[in-house]
Amino acid sequence: MVWNAQATVSFLLVIATPILVAAQDQAKESPERDTSAIVAAAGEPFVAIALLRELPRQLGATDLVELQHLDRNLEAPTTEAEREFARELLLVLARSSELRSLGYVHQVFETVPWRRQDAARAIAEFAIDQRRRAADWRLLVRSLPVVDDDDARVILQSLQMFPQRGTKPHWLREVILAGLRSGDVGKSEAAKLLSHWTGSQLHDGDPTKGPLSQWQAWFDEKYPELPEPILPVDSPTSRYTYAKLLTFLGGERGAKGDPQSGANVFEKAQCIKCHRFGARGEAMGPDLTNVRQRFQLKQILEATVFPSQSITDQHETTTIVTTDGQIFSGVLAAADGKIVVLQANGNKAIVDRRDIEEALPSRKSAMPDGLLDPLSLDEIADLFAYMRDRQQ
* Co-location of 80 and 42 in the same domain: yes
pLDDT at 121: 98
Q: Evaluate whether residue 236 is within a structural domain.
A: no
- Please report, for residues 4, 248, 369, 380, the alpha-carbon distance to residue 258 in angstroms, rounded to integers and kept in the order given: 33, 15, 24, 10
Domain with 11, as residue range(s), is 1-131
Reported as a pLDDT band with limits 50, 70 and 90, residue 31 is very low
pLDDT score, position 265 = 93
pLDDT of residue 27: 42
State how many domains the chain has: 4
291 near 387, Cβ under 8 Å? yes
Q: By C-alpha distance, which of 369, 359, 321 is closest to 225? A: 359
Enumerate residues 6+ apart whose C-beta is below 8 A from 26: 37
The answer to whether residue 136 sits within a structural domain is no
Q: How far apart are CA 134 and CA 161, in angstroms?
A: 12
Mean pLDDT computed over 269-286: 80
| Residue 239 neighbours by CB under 8 Å, 6+ apart | 370, 372, 373
| CA 288 and chain centroid, separation | 16
> Above 90 in pLDDT, residue 153?
yes
The confidence band for 77, taking pLDDT boundaries of 50, 70 and 90, is confident
Query: Taking residues 119-143, what's their average pLDDT?
Result: 97
Give the global pTM: 0.79
> Please, which pLDDT band fits residue 390 given cuts at 50, 70 and 90?
low
pLDDT on residue 237? 93
Note the pLDDT tens digit of each residue in 82-102. Answer: 999 999 999 999 999 999 999
Higher pLDDT, 359 or 31: 359
Give the bridge partners for 358, in sequence order. Answer: 321
Separation CA 272–CA 274 (nearest Å)? 6
Q: Are residues 101 and 159 in the same domain?
A: no
**Whether residues 374 and 343 fall in one domain:** no
**In the sheet where 317-322 sits, what is the strand order?**
348-352, 338-343, 327-335, 317-322, 356-362
Residue 32 in this model has a pLDDT that exceeds 70 = no
Same domain, 251 and 335: no
Same domain, yes or no: 337 and 353: yes
Q: Are residues 169 and 79 in the same domain?
A: no
Q: Is 30 helix (H, G, I), strand (E, B) or coil?
A: coil
Per-residue pLDDT tens digits for 205-229: 555 567 899 999 999 999 998 889 9
CATH number at residue 259: 1.10.760.10
Confidence (pLDDT) at 380:
95
CB–CB of 81/49 below 8 Å? yes
Residues 8 and 32 in one domain: yes
Final residue before a domain boundary, out of 202, 231, 260 = 231
Q: Nearest Cα to 179, choosing from 214, 204, 207?
A: 214
Q: What is the pLDDT of residues 230-268, one digit of tens each?
A: 999 999 999 999 999 999 998 988 888 999 999 999 989
**Residue 355 — pLDDT band, cuts 50, 70, 90?**
confident
Q: Is 132 buried (19+), middle (13-18) or exposed (0-12) by CB count in 10 A? A: middle
Instruction: Using a pLDDT cut of 90, give the percent of the chain over it.
Output: 54
* Model confidence at 297: pLDDT above 60: yes
pLDDT higher than 80, residue 24: no
221 and 277 housed in the same domain: no
Mean pLDDT of 111-138: 96
Which H or E run includes 253?
none
Average pLDDT score over the chain: 85
Same domain, 28 and 154: no
Single residue among 199, 231, 263 that ends a domain in this structure: 231
Q: Decide: 172 and 194 in contact? Cβ < 8 Å.
A: yes
360 - beta bridge partners?
Answer: 319
> Is residue 356 predicted with pLDDT exceeding 70?
yes
